[in-house]
Amino acid sequence: MSLKKNGRLSRREMLRALSLAAAGTSISPWLSGCRQALQTPEDVERGLRRDALDGKPKFLIVIGATGGASIIDSFLAVRQSEGGANAAKLNTVPDAQVQSVANSPFRAVKVDSPKLGSIPVPVNTDQLAFVNKYKDDMLVATSIGTSVNHTIAQKRAINGNAAWKGRTLQECVALQWGQGFALPNVNMSVGGYGERGTDVSLPASVYAETVTSPSLWPLGLDGAKGIRGAPTKDIAALARKARNELDASSVFGTTFADSDAMKRWNAQRADGAQLEAQDLITRLNVIPNMPPQIPLTQYGLDSSPDGAKVRAAFPGFFDDPFQGQAALAFLLLKYRVSVAVTIGPDFNVALGGNIGFANPPLAFDYSHNDHRAGQAFMWNRILSNVDKLITLLKSEPFDMATGESLWDRTLIYVATDFGRTRGRPDNAVEFGTGHDLNNGFLMLSPMVKGNTVLGAIDPLTTYGYGFDARTGAPQPGKQSSNEPDLFSGVLHAMGADLTGSGLPDASAFKNG
């Protein structure tokens, strides 16, 4: 694929996208012009007019903080001295470990523990540097969920509890900005974060392509390259042509011509040729040539031109799935393959990294065993990879004319399952917690209203309360579910066209 310097698609790619759009009359109701024509004066007055679809994509990275990332163990931590009479029995944090952030409503937690539950690895983490660096692009919103089942809660974190016909955020973004992209929606995450939405009316292209092995998955982006003994490209093309002609006229092909599976397969064969034409087997290939372990060149393959850069950022890309996913996520955005990418740690142990241990069993849910050290370890894992991702995205020009970087067009949504129960034995430092509906979500982007907390925490209970999604005004005592507000907030911040969605106005999330 050839990209113009302003980050737009080349004329050839645009023609392809236009031809698809022309053919896809069934998706016309979603096209911007149609939607804007449907806006009522009330919508306009209330600020529901969305950014024009200017042909320039926006990108969403969803990070599934698997297991339940507690917001009061990070940016909304409560100091023990603020907790009143019950402070010793609640998950408050010693004052010295809760750091204020200058000119910001956020806080940052510092934890030093000689071990992680029963795992003999030290936990020495400090969130302050991250918050200082990114506070202007950070928004934290308190949340009340509706499930403490991991898979269900994960899914509701990405579909707002079926806020818009059951579509996931990633599907909405793929629908809005994914036209002309080879794989608009790629999902590498787990459980409910990896599930597709339930709106079956969407075009097939917006449903996620599932990736479970990010380092090796790009090898499947070419039908023959890298297969020992396979013929040259021109011979392979002759073989495909012969096969396709016979398929179209065969008894089997004729009999099942009306089958959905057959139609999908034929369309996917054509899409596959587009993947090959972009040489994604090379461009997305993070792994280096390291014979004899990884003999790329012996198989006629090469590492990505950006391979060294992403490997430097994510040195554990091969052994730590989360790092491998983050590396691939960057390349998928850089090469305009995808507009929505979902990544996140899984529930399994991963070894590697500075202390030889990358992921505890159950990820954030290790809090059942050791809440404070588990949360600190996992938050550090999330924020470390977010930092590296943002650094890479900032280094990548998007539009030379406007000076935008890829980061300027990207929103990172740190989704999580739920919060954690607040109780602990008196003044315990090591304690276990369960699942709780009350929590909060982190979003990062130049598109969100930065340095902002929507809602707040009552320090006497450590529970959060809600806010008005349109104005951002806190609403003390509000404990009703706000899943649709959060769903809508991501899309509002990105400037998605929500006409006809029925979603609440969540203008409070948007920058400007």
Partner 1 sequence: MRPERLALFAALVALSSACPAKVDPPPQPMVMEVPDAGPSGLARSARGNLRFKGPERLTTDFATALSIKTDEVCSELGKYPCLSVHNVALGGVDPYGPGLYEPSGVTAVTTPLVVERIAWSACSQRVDKDLVAGVNAVVFRGLPMTGPKLTNPDGPEVTAIVGELTHRVLAREPYTNEVATYVKLAKDIEATGTAEPAREWMLSVCFAVLSSTEAVFY
Considering only residues 307 to 326 of the shown chain, the ones binding partner 1 according to CB under 8 A are 321
- Which residue in 275, 340, 362, 442 binds partner 1 (CB under 8 A)? 275
**Eight-state DSSP code of residue 155:** H
Distance CA(64)–CA(169), nearest Å, equals: 13
> Does 297 participate in binding partner 1 (rule CB under 8 A)?
no
Residues 6+ apart with CB under 8 A from 411: 58, 59, 60, 61, 443, 444, 445, 447, 448, 490, 493, 494
Interacting positions 436-455 with partner 1 (CB under 8 A): none
**Shortest distance (Å) from residue 368 CB to partner 1:** 18
> Does 233 participate in binding partner 1 (rule CB under 8 A)?
no
> Does 216 participate in binding partner 1 (rule CB under 8 A)?
yes
- Which residue in 28, 213, 427, 479 binds partner 1 (CB under 8 A)? 213
Instruction: Look up residue 494 and give its amino acid.
Output: M
Residues 6+ apart with CB under 8 A from 125: 109, 110, 111, 376, 377, 379, 380
**Shortest distance (Å) from residue 208 CB to partner 1:** 9
In the numeric block, the tokens 């918050």 are attached to: 131
23 within 8 A of 481, measured Cβ to Cβ: no
Distance CA(288)–CA(304), nearest Å, equals: 8
> Does 102 participate in binding partner 1 (rule CB under 8 A)?
no
**Shortest distance (Å) from residue 253 CB to partner 1:** 6
244 within 8 A of 223, measured Cβ to Cβ: no
**Shortest distance (Å) from residue 382 CB to partner 1:** 17
- Which residue in 42, 45, 54, 234 binds partner 1 (CB under 8 A)? 234
> Does 53 participate in binding partner 1 (rule CB under 8 A)?
no
Interacting positions 69-98 with partner 1 (CB under 8 A): none
> Does 189 participate in binding partner 1 (rule CB under 8 A)?
yes
Distance CA(130)–CA(135), nearest Å, equals: 8
Other C-beta atoms within 10 Å of 464: how many?
Answer: 27
- Which residue in 33, 47, 198, 271 binds partner 1 (CB under 8 A)? 271
Best CA proximity match to 306, nearest among 324, 283, 339: 283
Stretch binding partner 1 (CB under 8 A), from 9-17, 75-83, 161-169, 216-224? 216-224
**Shortest distance (Å) from residue 318 CB to partner 1:** 12
Number of residues that bind partner 1 (CB under 8 A): 73
> Does 247 participate in binding partner 1 (rule CB under 8 A)?
yes
3-state secondary structure 348-401: CCEECCCCCEEECCCHHHHHHCCHHHHHHHHHHHHHHHHHHHHHHHHCCEEECC
Distance CA(453)–CA(142), nearest Å, equals: 8
> Does 464 participate in binding partner 1 (rule CB under 8 A)?
no
In the numeric block, the tokens 């935008």 are attached to: 404
Instruction: Look up residue 217 and give its amino acid.
Output: W
Cis ω before 292 (30° cut-off from 0)? yes
499 within 8 A of 38, measured Cβ to Cβ: yes
> Does 349 participate in binding partner 1 (rule CB under 8 A)?
no
Structure tokens at 403: 């000076």
**Shortest distance (Å) from residue 484 CB to partner 1:** 25
- Which residue in 120, 229, 403, 477 binds partner 1 (CB under 8 A)? 229
- The contact mask relative to partner 1 for 167-186 (x = CB under 8 A, - = no) is ---------------xx---
Residues 6+ apart with CB under 8 A from 422: 72, 90, 91, 433, 436, 461, 462, 463
Stretch binding partner 1 (CB under 8 A), from 250-258, 358-366, 422-430, 450-458? 250-258
Distance CA(343)–CA(210), nearest Å, equals: 11
- Which residue in 201, 259, 471, 479 binds partner 1 (CB under 8 A)? 259
**Eight-state DSSP code of residue 173:** H
Distance CA(16)–CA(176), nearest Å, equals: 17
**Shortest distance (Å) from residue 181 CB to partner 1:** 11
- Which residue in 100, 245, 312, 473 binds partner 1 (CB under 8 A)? 245
**Shortest distance (Å) from residue 378 CB to partner 1:** 17
- Which residue in 151, 395, 481, 511 binds partner 1 (CB under 8 A)? 151
> Does 249 participate in binding partner 1 (rule CB under 8 A)?
yes
Based on its alpha-carbon atoms, the radius of gyration of the chain, rounded to whole angstroms, reads 24
Instruction: Look up residue 70 and give its amino acid.
Output: S
**Shortest distance (Å) from residue 281 CB to partner 1:** 9
**Shortest distance (Å) from residue 273 CB to partner 1:** 9
- Which residue in 108, 296, 490, 503 binds partner 1 (CB under 8 A)? 296
**Shortest distance (Å) from residue 483 CB to partner 1:** 21
Output helix, strand, coil percentages for the chain, rounded to the nearest 5: 40, 20, 45
Interacting positions 190-209 with partner 1 (CB under 8 A): 190-191, 194, 196, 204, 209
> Does 243 participate in binding partner 1 (rule CB under 8 A)?
yes
Stretch binding partner 1 (CB under 8 A), from 7-15, 232-240, 425-433, 471-479? 232-240
Closest CB to partner 1 among 292 and 477?
Answer: 292
- Which residue in 264, 308, 402, 427 binds partner 1 (CB under 8 A)? 264
Closest CB to partner 1 among 100 and 212?
Answer: 212
Stretch binding partner 1 (CB under 8 A), from 287-295, 305-313, 454-462, 503-511? 287-295
